[in-house]
A and B are shown apart, each in its own frame.
Chain A
Amino acid sequence: DAGVTQSPTHLIKTRGQQVTLRCSPKSGHDTVSWYQQALGQGPQFIFQYYEEEERQRGNFPDRFSGHQFPNYSSELNVNALLLGDSALYLCASSLGAGFSTDTQYFGPGTRLTVL
């Protein structure tokens, strides 16, 4: 049973550039959430996708956008990169927005470095 996978593993960009990160959810899951984890902090919720729509959004600017495909995989796009965007980006999957006790399963993350 494949778990959550993310690509790429590492990425180096310069300020002002744009980046796309990818995530495939755990088999059987249909909901994908994205988190940003800065060094020494817990994961911060960016947004959640279910049925190809953004369902929830955290306190992140519009430079952060996403997409979910019919196969439930997802992309996170960040435009106009800032130095402060350097972080580990985590994707988590879960089953359905209709459950009250969803458990999220995380991928290994993409380490983004902005120079």
Chain B
Amino acid sequence: DQQVKQNSPSLSVQEGRISILNCDYTNSMFDYFLWYKKYPAEGPTFLISISSIKDKNEDGRFTVFLNKSAKHLSLHIVPSQPGDSAVYFCAASARDNYGQNFVFGPGTRLSVLP
């Protein structure tokens, strides 16, 4: 049972346009969400995060939106650049008595075309 879903395995966008990557989750206990970018042969690189007490977080060209009622978050990249071409993972976290556990989605491969 996938707790974090990224239903689009791939996405192609023209350079300069907006890229929108989507993520859905099922566990209502998740209270912290992160996006990671991964290039081939490298580990995932932290991009941006959002706490469940917010509905938007912005960092330069990257904005993450959280809709708790829909259990949905999205990452917007504006404007998209060829260097943004990578696999993007959505991750969600919940705390319990034992600490914090991160659950990752399967990833979306973004291709930004020049």
Chain A residues near B (Cβ < 8 Å): 4, 6, 31, 33, 35, 40-45, 48, 50, 55-56, 58, 90, 92, 94, 97, 99-109
Contact = CB atoms under 8 A, between A and B. Distances in A.
Interface string B27-57: 0000110101000011111100101000000
Interface stretch (B13-21, B66-74, B78-86, B99-107): B99-107
Given A42-B104, A56-B99, A109 B43 contact: yes
Which residue among A45, A97, A101, A108 has the maximum number of chain B CB atoms within 10 Å of its CB?
A101
Nearest to A31: B99
Nearest to B51: A101
Contacts of A55: 98-99
Contacts of A33: 102
A100 B102 contact: no
Contact of A108 (B4, B31, B43, B100): B43
Chain B interface, >50% SS class: strand
A108 to B, nearest CB: 5
A90 B38 CA distance: 12
A101 B49 contact: yes
A101 B49 CA distance: 9
A108 B89 contact: no
Contacts of B95: 100
Contacts of A31: 99
A105 B32 CA distance: 15
A41 B42 CA distance: 15
